[in-house]
Amino acid sequence: MTVRGRARTIDMPTKRPAKRPTKLDLAKNWLPRYTGMAVDGFGDYILLTNWLGYVQRFAETFGCDVSGIGRPMQAATNSAGLSIINFGMGSPNAALIMDLLVARRPKGVLHLGKCGGLKKAAEIGRFILPIGAVRGEGTSNDYLPPEVPALPSFKLHKFVSQKLVEHDSTRDYRTGVVFTTNRRVWEHDADFLRRLKSLTVMAIDMETATLFVVGHVNQIARGALLLVSDYPVTPEGVKTEESDASVTRAWADMHLRIGIESMTGISEHGEEMRHFRY
């Protein structure tokens, strides 16, 4: 008996010829495979992160389980119906999770990411609520033509911004444009830094543009709240083991807390978000 013979189809009729699966078929089967959590285990609102640490802290806070250990993604859901997913790093994983979430059709998704600051206003420890992202990653080109801007859902960001204002201790948050790239090791590259400067971007990360574009294609309300964790414009600001741990100690709790409050309150107090088809 071959391996192939043992493989079952997904929501397929048993008689031949089998139909090609739809995107929804794939997402329903794959979201549990990647996260170890059933589709209905996820809540209406979802936080995204690149670190297992955020998922663990979330689970400790709410006394809930972490699923997906040993799988590519880990997830947890609290009793209020808010979920958090560590989807890994980089634009392909960002596109993947925004495709898989089609299975759950969440009402809102907020990415809690880190970014490198590129302007004086974006110093370490600042929060950035990106109003758009430069699609330097290529991945989103598989979803929409390159001239379509990568944008968050306005009403979702408006609500997050209210939460930021309520937290005096967050100092001023920044709004601006983020450059999303697939490169991680570029801090030595003067040409690349010159290009970043010419684009007038405030910060650099590896996921935001992709999350926005694929979220738009899949009609998922989405946003991003980024924490400036390094400042690669000056040699002293380049991320190191020590500086990264220091940023995490100082700011990660606040980052996660604002994310949780934003996506918990939005269902009661946020403006209704609509998604229009063409």
Q: Residues 98 to 157: which contact a second copy by CB under 8 A? A: 99-100, 119-121, 123-125, 129, 131-139, 141-142, 144-155, 157
The answer to the question of residue 158 lying near a second copy (CB under 8 A) is: yes
Do residues 109 and 222 touch, judged by C-beta distance below 8 A?
yes
Identity of the residue, 25 or 44, whose beta carbon is nearer to a second copy in the bound complex: 25
Question: According to the binding rule CB under 8 A, does residue 161 interact with a second copy?
Answer: yes
Nearer to a second copy, 79 or 120 (CB): 120
Which 26-65 residues touch a second copy, going by CB under 8 A? 26-27, 29-30, 32-33, 50, 52-53
In terms of CB distance, is 3 or 168 closer to a second copy? 3
Place of tokens 């400790």: 60
Tell me whether residue 6 or residue 63 sits nearer to a second copy (CB atom): 6
How many residues touch a second copy under the rule CB under 8 A: the total is: 114
DSSP codes joined into one string, 6-44: HPPPSS--SSSSPPPPPHHHHHHHHHHHHHSS-GGGS-S
Instruction: Please report how the helices 91-100 and 208-217 are oriented relative to each other, as an axis angle in degrees rounded to 10.
Output: 30
CB atoms within 10 A of CB 253: 12
- Min. distance of Cβ 77 from a second copy in angstroms? 19
Q: Under the criterion CB under 8 A, does residue 75 sit at the interface with a second copy?
A: no
Residue with smaller CB distance to a second copy, 80 or 188: 188
Which of residues 108 and 125 has its CB atom nearest to a second copy in the complex?
A: 125
Q: Interaction with a second copy in 209-268: which residues (CB under 8 A)?
A: 216-217, 231, 234-244, 246-247, 250-251
Closest to 178 (Cα-Cα) out of 156, 209, 148: 209
Q: Residue 9 corresponds to which tokens in the numbers above? A: 């189809």
| Minimum distance from residue 272 beta carbon to a second copy (Å) | 8
Each residue of 88-108: b (16+ CB within 10 Å) or e?
A: bebbebbbbbbbbbbbbebbb
* Main-chain dihedrals φ then ψ at residue 102, nearest 5 degrees: -55, -30
Nearest to 126 by CA among 208, 227, 55, 270: 227
* Stretch 79-98 residues interacting with a second copy (CB under 8 A): 88-93, 95-96
- Binding residues for a second copy restricted to 165-204, rule: CB under 8 A: 165, 172, 175-177, 181-190, 197-202
- Please give the Cα distance from 49 to 34 (Å, whole number): 15
